[in-house]
Amino acid sequence: LMQTIRDLQEGRPLGNVAWVQDSPVLSPACILPVTFSDKPRMEQHSSDCPQGPHFTKSDLSLLQLIKAGKEGIFYKARMTRGTCKGHEMFTCKIAKEGVTPKTIHLYFYVLIMEFVSSGTLRSFLKNNKDKLTPDPELQSLFTIASIHIALAMEPLRSKMVVHCDLALRNIMVNRFPWEVKVAEFGLARDLTRVRSYRSSRRKNPRERVPLRWYPPEYFRNNYYSFKGDVWSYGIVLWEMQMFGTLPYSNLETSESVVYYICAGYKNKDPDGCRPEILQIMRDCWTEPYTSRPSFTDIVRILENIMENDAVSNLPSNLPSTFFYLVFCDC
Which domain-ending residue is among 114, 136, 163?
114
Predicted local distance difference test score (pLDDT) of residue 188: 87
Left if phi > 0, otherwise alpha if psi is -120 to 50, otherwise beta: which for 218? alpha
Query: 125 to each of 115, 170, 171, how far by Cα in Å?
Result: 19, 13, 11
Predicted local distance difference test score (pLDDT) of residue 184: 82
What is the C-alpha separation between 49 and 174, in angstroms, rounded? 22
Q: Are residues 132 and 261 in the same domain?
A: yes
Which CATH number do you get for residue 301?
A: 1.10.510.10
Q: Are residues 106 and 87 in the same domain?
A: yes
Domains of the chain: total: 2
Q: What are phi and psi of 55, to 5 degrees?
A: -120, 155
Q: Are residues 67 and 153 in the same domain?
A: no
What is the C-alpha separation between 282 and 275, in angstroms, rounded? 11
Q: Are residues 50 and 137 in the same domain?
A: no
Q: Are residues 132 and 51 in the same domain?
A: no
Q: Are residues 63 and 129 in the same domain?
A: no
Report if residue 303 sits inside a domain: yes
Q: Are residues 100 and 167 in the same domain?
A: no
Report if residue 300 sits inside a domain: yes
Determine contact, residues 214/231, Cβ cutoff 8 Å. Answer: yes
Which domain-ending residue is among 79, 114, 149?
114
Q: Are residues 75 and 139 in the same domain?
A: no
Beta-carbon contacts of 104 under 8 Å, excluding residues fewer than 6 positions away, are: 62, 94
Q: Are residues 246 and 129 in the same domain?
A: yes
What does the radius of gyration of the chain's CA atoms come to, in whole angstroms?
22
Q: Are residues 268 and 148 in the same domain?
A: yes
Q: Give the CA-trace dihedral at 92, 94, 95, 97, to 10 degrees.
A: -160
What is the C-alpha separation between 291 and 288, in angstroms, rounded? 6
Report if residue 17 sits inside a domain: yes
Burial call 248-274: b when 16+ CB within 10 Å, e when fewer: beebeeeeebbebbeeeeebeebeebb
pLDDT in tens, 273-311: 999 999 999 999 999 999 999 999 999 999 999 998 888
Report if residue 221 sits inside a domain: yes
The per-residue pLDDT of the chain, averaged, comes to 75
Beta-carbon contacts of 78 under 8 Å, excluding residues fewer than 6 positions away, are: 60, 61, 63, 88, 89, 90
pLDDT in tens, 31-46: 333 434 444 433 333 4
3-state secondary structure 89-145: EEEEEEECCCCECCECCCCEEEEEEECCCCCEHHHHHHHCHHHHCCCCCHHHHHHHH
Cα torsion 277, 278, 283, 285: sign? positive
Predicted local distance difference test score (pLDDT) of residue 195: 60
List average pLDDT for each run of 10 residues in the chain, which is 330 residues long: 46 37 30 39 40 58 75 75 69 59 42 76 95 94 96 92 94 91 86 64 58 94 93 98 96 92 94 96 96 96 92 66 44
Report if residue 319 sits inside a domain: no
Burial class from Cβ neighbours inside 10 Å (0-12, 13-18, 19+) for residue 93 reads buried
DSSP structural state of residue 7: H
CA triplet 245, 273, 151: central angle to 5 degrees? 80
Predicted local distance difference test score (pLDDT) of residue 96: 52
Predicted local distance difference test score (pLDDT) of residue 86: 65
- Measured between its terminal Cα atoms, the distance across the chain in Å is 45
Determine contact, residues 206/91, Cβ cutoff 8 Å. Answer: no
Which one of 165, 190, 269, 309 is the catalytic residue?
A: 165
List the domain range (segments joined by +) for residue 9: 2-114
Q: Are residues 45 and 127 in the same domain?
A: no
**Does 22 qualify as catalytic in the annotation?**
no
Which domain-ending residue is among 63, 84, 114?
114
Predicted local distance difference test score (pLDDT) of residue 277: 97
Partner residues linked to 93 by β-bridges: 74, 111
What is the C-alpha separation between 264 and 71, in angstroms, rounded? 29
The DSSP annotation for 157-186 comes to: HHTTEE-S---GGGEEEEETTTEEEE---T
CA triplet 42, 45, 47: central angle to 5 degrees? 170
Report if residue 45 sits inside a domain: yes
Report if residue 64 sits inside a domain: yes
Q: Are residues 138 and 14 in the same domain?
A: no
Report if residue 207 sits inside a domain: yes
